[in-house]
Structure 1
Amino acid sequence: MERGLLWLPLLATFIGLAWAGSAEYKKLEAYKVWADNFDQAKYDLYSVIGYRNGQITWGKATRKGIINLQTVAIADLSDVSLDIDGQTFADIDPENLDNLPSKGKAALSLNYKTDKDSTKIPFTQTDLAAKWVNYLQKFVALGI
């Protein structure tokens, strides 16, 4: 009887891990369906982002789908930059991504041509965020 009670917390832990894994799998599947509509898309723990036809769309992945979707046209942006712990990196050399801080809160910052406040899209990986900045800056420079 005592041995059975000792195994009970372990069983509860495995059930919790299975539930968490199932929830993450459902989020990834919802993202895959959503990402099919974009030329370029990324999944992150904090957010999802996609680009297609001069439009950037981002939101948050949940088990039931993507929520809090927002879209902005590239033509409305003056600049795209990378913020890491409040420090802004506008001109990022794709060859020297090692010069960026590897730790810290990274966010893609969309700066508008109007007086509207910039929008920050959070990332967990600074190198992935830097690649997205370089990718989007090409389109901002062209104005499309």
Structure 2
Amino acid sequence: MTHGLLWLPLLVAFVVLAALGWLERRRQRLFLEWAAGSELSKLDGGGGARLKDGCLEWTSFEAGKFKPQGSLMVSKLELVELLSLGSGDAPLTDESHGACRLRLIGDGREYDLPFSDADRARRWIGELMSRSRCEL
């Protein structure tokens, strides 16, 4: 009987890990459907984003579906800044890694697009600016 009780926490851990894996797989499948046909897309801990037909849209994953957070026409994009995620308007240095956000300025408004990886965000800046055909 004690041997069975020793295996019970491992069984519970296995069930929890299997459920988390199933949820992640579902999130990825929904993202692939949502981002189909996009020129540029990303999915990470900060949420999803896609560039499709000149429109940049970003979402968060909540309650088993993607919830739209904002959109911006790339042709109206004026400036993209890389900022730290939690400390106001502090710019991110080139040596920084980890969670950050892109501040998108265009159409007279500012938008924040979260990223879980600063290197990926830097690549996105180059892609977005080349697609918007802006010169800073």
Is the CA contact (8 Å cut-off) linking 2:60 and 2:69 kept in structure 1?
yes
The TM-score with structure 1 as length reference comes to: 0.80
Q: Give the corresponding residue for 2:95.
A: 100
Equivalents in 1 of 2:81, 2:23: separation in Å? 32
Question: What do the CA deviations read for 1:8-32 (whole angstroms, capped 9, x no partner)?
Answer: 1111011001100110010001111
Amino acid of the residue matched to residue 99 of structure 1? D
Q: Give the corresponding residue for 1:127.
A: 119
Equivalents in 2 of 1:32, 1:63: separation in Å? 17
Unaligned runs of 5+ in 1: 90-97
Give the deviation of 1:39 after TM superposition: 1.2
Equivalents in 1 of 2:20, 2:117: separation in Å? 22
Is the CA contact (8 Å cut-off) linking 2:57 and 2:68 kept in structure 1?
no
The 10-residue stretch of structure 1 (42-51 or 67-76) with the greater mean CA deviation from structure 2: 67-76
Between the two structures, name the one with larger relative contact order (CA 8 Å, sep ≥ 6). 1
Which runs of structure 2 are paired with 1:68-107 in the superposition (5 Å)? 68-85=68-85, 86-88=89-91, 99-103=94-98, 105-107=99-101
The 10-residue stretch of structure 1 (65-74 or 11-20) with the greater mean CA deviation from structure 2: 65-74
CA RMSD, Structure 1 to Structure 2 (Å)? 2.2
Q: Percent identity?
A: 23
Equivalents in 2 of 1:48, 1:108: separation in Å? 13
Is the CA contact (8 Å cut-off) linking 1:56 and 1:72 kept in structure 2?
yes
Which runs of structure 2 are paired with 1:23-102 in the superposition (5 Å)? 23-62=23-62, 64-85=64-85, 86-88=89-91, 99-102=94-97
Unaligned runs of 5+ in 2: none
Question: Structure 1 pair 84/69, CA: closer, same or farther in 2 (3 Å)?
Answer: closer
